[in-house]
Amino acid sequence: MWFFTDEQKELQNVCRSFAEKEIAPYAEKHDHDETFNIEAFKKMGELGLLGITADPKYGGAGLGAIEATIVMEEFGKACAGLTLSYLAHSMLCVNNISTNASEEQKAKYLPKLISGEQIGCMAMSEPGYGSDAVGMQCKAVKDGKNYVITGNKMWITNAQYADVIYLYARTGKEKKALTTFILEKDTKGFSVSKEIHKMGMRGSPTGELTFENCIVPESQRVGEEGSSIHHMMKNLDIERITISGISLGIAEACVQQCIKYSGERKQFEQTLANFQLIQKMIAEMSAETTMMRHFLYSTCKEYDLGIQDNVQAAKVKLQLPKMVTKIALDAIQLHGGYGYSREFPLEKYMRDNKLMEIGAGTNEVMIMIIAKNLLKEAMRG
């Protein structure tokens, strides 16, 4: 992007080099085996990337949405699954703790999460409450100086590997009576009860968490009881912006693969690159990718300047994944039978990106947020 600083360009180069050496060569195997590239993940800590937005006081980089999205984009080109796990750790767990927790909690949890010694996750969605996250039923009942937590969480990225869980639970009958807690994996009554096998993002572990009379000290509550709605909604904005960087990376990977293939593959005694229809497909993919890049990074810039608009975040989250699914399908079509086979990575790009239209808020939820705001503004006028 034209406004990237020298430091941001250097970060881009470092992440691109790391992705090419430590992530891309192993992406296909981890997708096939449904395994987690924990070795590469740990090395991200050595590069200082696992706490990219966190307070430098605790080992973080203290950077913003632009830098976080640069990492998502470069890693997303190489392996979207591993990048999703990176996002769950760095943005959903570490960023939340850095933004909302007490100084004592930050000092206790952030250093090991940022170094890569520990892995984090966030627990919000439940078996019966996905889009309606505020309706969650996992309960935390006060008992002296402790809370007793009971319930289940579903679709939790990094569940099987997480040492630290950033948990939302209900502490009252009112719909917005939600409270946040930080749990450790060895807490009595906590378990990973189910491993979830997915269509895409297979290199990112996903599971169900179960809490059976799980006793958590009051000292591990984040903020005041019932104050978590504000924390939740604020973090959703930066999550939706930065996760869109993964889709942007997938789009770039599709374009690069199509350019390479069209220059090598021959039909009717000439390469595909000589056919105008193929040229049209590649040109449109590239133009759409450039448009998405400007939209996404402009939104990142506004976010970092303090113009934090949840509607803008919803627009980015709606449009990028939707457009990239189209690009991935077009790339498969351009490759013909090879695109449909596992011999080429196009089918993986499509499978991985489809999750982007569901996770962090479905397309339909993004539409609802955007439409409600537009109609509200129209009624005021």
Residues paired with 149 in a beta bridge: 140, 214
Examine the residue annotation and report whether 239 is marked as an active-site residue of this protein. yes
Amino acid at 172: G
Angle at Cα 247 formed by Cα 291 and Cα 1, nearest 5°?
45
Rounded to an integer, what distance in angstroms lies between the CA atom of residue 105 and that of residue 284? Answer: 49
Residues whose CB falls within 8 Å of the CB of residue 259, separated by 6 or more in sequence, listed in order: 282
- Among 201, 253, 257, smallest CA distance to 77 is for 253
Helix (H) or strand (E) holding 367: helix 363-380
Token couple for 258: 């199509």
Rounded to an integer, what distance in angstroms lies between the CA atom of residue 375 and that of residue 372? Answer: 5
**Helix, strand, or coil here: 145?**
coil
For residues 302 and 296, the answer to whether their CB atoms sit within 8 Å is no
- Among 166, 149, 71, 163, smallest CA distance to 115 is for 163
Token couple for 100: 């909302």
**Strand spans (E) along the chain:** 120-123, 139-143, 146-157, 164-170, 178-184, 190-195, 206-217, 221-222, 266-267, 270-271
Q: Which of 67, 126, 208, 239 is catalytic?
A: 239
Q: 226's torsion region: left (phi>0), alpha (psi -120 to 50) or beta?
A: left
Rounded to an integer, what distance in angstroms lies between the CA atom of residue 361 and that of residue 369? Answer: 10
Amino acid at 274: N
Number of H helices, E strands in the chain: 13, 10
Which residues belong to the active site?
A: 239
